[in-house]
Structure 1
Amino acid sequence: MNAAEPATTQQVPARPIQRSTFPFAALIGQVPLQQALLLAAIDPGLGGVLVSGPRGTAKSTAARALAELLPQGQLVNLPLGASEDRLIGTLDIETVLRDGSVRFSPGLLAKAHHGVLYVDEVNLLPDALVDALLDAAASGVNTVERDGVSHSHDASFVLIGTMNPEEGELRPQLIDRFGLMVELQNCFEPRVRQAIVKARLAFDLDPQRFRAGYAEHQAEYVERIRAAREALPQLAFGDAVHAHVSALCIDAAVDGLRADLVMLRAARALAALEQAGAVTVEHVDCVAEAVLIHRRRHRRQHDGQADGDTRNGEAQPQTAAGSDRAPASALDAAPSPAVAGETDWGYLPPEPAATTHVKRVLPLDAKKR
């Protein structure tokens, strides 16, 4: 090569970095979370799993680990800044008007078909997007409508939403639509904590060697999910199971019947996972907490707000004679100290406030008003 000629370098296309996944079988101290994720993988129609917990409790690690066990191993992340079109897809209306054919551009829901749709910090996602993905997760179908033109496609995926309760809660109308919920806590058991740290350090040091040690367990999980999906339609519910589910939901005072349906389907998925011949009451008891924990808690919060509204005066108190005449003054409406101490902790009686005289305010001219 002539020294006067500039040296040329060959451009090598960059290859995507393949990130090793922490094995699902290697998760430590996460039995309730593992069970909930497996049930959602067996029956995606459960409506997904909501995982609540502080930072560093392996929420995203578990979601990625589950995706590896599914047939296609597809994990699709839904970013917080995604638009509705990116989530559900778009329709080219100009093509419809010009050619009479529907041109559909798939969104993330189509990409997540037969895989896992993972939403980190789902409590910070706009309500419209949460509503759309919950609809698709429960029905297994995504429908896009634009200007009277609609297109539908299959969207069967495992929905996993994670959230840190310190950053805010989901609206009760949305959180109730998640099929299962698991609340994670910080681990303060020394032996379990040490085992988790040792496993993570070993994985970071040599991911391939670490994964090889769990290859057999991983294959067992894959086979169990496949066999459970095949056995799922053959399992029926007896009257005793229906009665037990109804009793649990009534005792929890849940709204509507969604909890009953999810509990039955979760119990059936657990029976299929265990290759049981029938769904039993014991299967119901094993899944009941994951079905009721978020519905029971938000029902108590809703009732507490209603009680607070009543105490704040939205419900008109009755007089001793039983009439609903409004009290003559705020002092008449205030409960006696004895009653206040029993029903409203921290109640303070009204006190007169001092007034302060201000200087005379000069009016503005008409042109300056």
Structure 2
Amino acid sequence: MRQPFPFSAIVGQEAMKQAMVLTAVDPGIGGVLVFGDRGTGKSTAVRALAALLPPISVLAGSSTNAASAEDQPDWADPLPGDIHDIPTPVIDLPLGASEDRVVGALDIERALTRGEKAFEPGLLARANRGYLYIDEVNLLEDHIVDLLLDVAQSGENVIEREGLSIRHDARFVLVGSGNPEEGELRPQLLDRFGLSVEVRSPTDIPERVEVIRRRAAFDTNPQAFLDKWNPEDAKIRDQILTARAALPKVATSDKTLHDCAELCVALGSDGLRGELTLLRTARALAAYQGDAEVTRTHMRAVAPMALSHRLRRDPLDEAGSSTRVMRAVEDVFA
């Protein structure tokens, strides 16, 4: 199987790359929504990041990527207990997928051939401890998106139907991408994504040339290209692992909490999810940069991706949502 394009070799798109790295440091931040032009590296980035991350240890044969026999669901067939490493899973969710395909359903073949009522896991089971990627998420049926966001937040998939009562772990980072010209997500769904970034095709000629040069080099001689960039990917991997270990120790002052609340009030953000996500993302950035305490510098850096998709629309303000967030940051932090 061909290895993905190296994460460190992706040209530009710094906000998108930073958002994905921060969710790798702290998956509890929530999913990442990437809206923008086609061909801007959205799917390339998520696959590259997953390939960069260290492999996960799983119970051989586990349909839910269980880490040990104790984590294997009660409804699943018993396994010998052998542990092996697999790459961090990246599961694609196609637009036409049915609810049964996503959450799992009754195993009809087993029911007919053996007369046994058994569960056939779906995509959520395969994505456990990895990434679930949805291209054109804005075109996905609303009830499927609702289901995905509920599971992504709880970390557990629950099925109660057809005489089945099934639960299994479903802890994954949800990454959705789409083109805003083809439709928008409902505001309540936007709010459930942890981070949101906008990507645009580069207009700088040297940057576009570098994109072409690197892609051509990768297609011509993939192994040589990987050998060149693997050391850079290894640095990012080590930095992520170090940040994960340091994250619980990152301090948060009362002043920082006050800044979070004041900023969200100034923006008119509904609920408290904005403050919680902003704080969690700032802590992840502080850990990634090796800082012991969250500061306004960290909050300033992550505020657009944590808050821009939570704003109410203002027909009298033609500025983009990220611009509105940064304007509020400057006012509050002044």
User: TM over 0.5: same fold?
Assistant: yes
2:260 to 224, 228, 245: 245
Q: Deviations over 1:5-30 (max 9, x none)?
A: xxxxxxxxxxxxx2331100001111
Where 1:192 maps in the other structure, the secondary structure is helix
Which residue does 2:70 correspond to in 1? none
Where 2:290 maps in the other structure, the secondary structure is coil
1:282 aligns with 2:265: no
Which residue does 2:326 correspond to in 1? none
Where 1:213 maps in the other structure, the secondary structure is helix
In structure 1, how many angstroms separate the alpha carbons of the residues matched to 2:27 and 2:148? 13
Which residue does 2:24 correspond to in 1? 41
Inter-CA distance 143–301: structure 2 relative to 1 (3 Å threshold): farther
Which residue does 1:226 correspond to in 2? 241
Which residue does 1:364 correspond to in 2? none
User: What is the one-letter code of the residue matched to 1:23?
Assistant: P
Larger radius of gyration: 1
Equivalent residue runs for 1:99-178 within 5 Å: 103-146=118-161, 149-178=164-193
Which residue does 1:8 correspond to in 2? none
Which residue does 1:300 correspond to in 2? 313
Deviation at 1:48, TM superposition (A): 0.5
* Equivalent pair of 1:228/1:273 in contact (CA under 8 Å): yes
* Equivalent pair of 1:123/1:168 in contact (CA under 8 Å): yes
User: What is the one-letter code of the residue matched to 2:16?
Assistant: L
Matched length: 282
Query: What's the C-alpha RMSD, in Å, of the aligned pairs?
Result: 2.4
Q: Which has the higher strand share?
A: 2
Which residue does 1:51 correspond to in 2? 34
Q: Deviations over 1:49-104 (max 9, x none)?
A: 000001111111111111112333211000001111111122569x99xxxx9843
Provide TM-score, normalisation by structure 2: 0.79
Which residue does 1:197 correspond to in 2? 212
Deviation at 1:148, TM superposition (A): 7.2
In structure 2, how many angstroms separate the alpha carbons of the residues matched to 1:36 and 1:109? 22
Deviation at 1:149, TM superposition (A): 4.9
Which residue does 2:9 correspond to in 1? 26
Q: Give the number of the structure with larger relative contact order, counting CA–CA contacts within 8 Å between residues 6 or more apart.
A: 2
In structure 1, how many angstroms separate the alpha carbons of the residues matched to 2:121 and 2:249? 34
Q: Deviations over 1:178-216 (max 9, x none)?
A: 110110112111111111111111111111111110111
In structure 2, how many angstroms separate the alpha carbons of the residues matched to 1:172 and 1:44? 22
Deviation at 1:174, TM superposition (A): 0.7
Question: Which 10-residue stretch deviates more, 274-283 or 183-192?
Answer: 274-283
Inter-CA distance 234–143: structure 2 relative to 1 (3 Å threshold): farther
Which residue does 1:353 correspond to in 2? none
Could you tell me which runs of 5 or more consecutive residues in structure 1 were left unpaired when the two chains were aligned. Answer: 1-17, 305-369
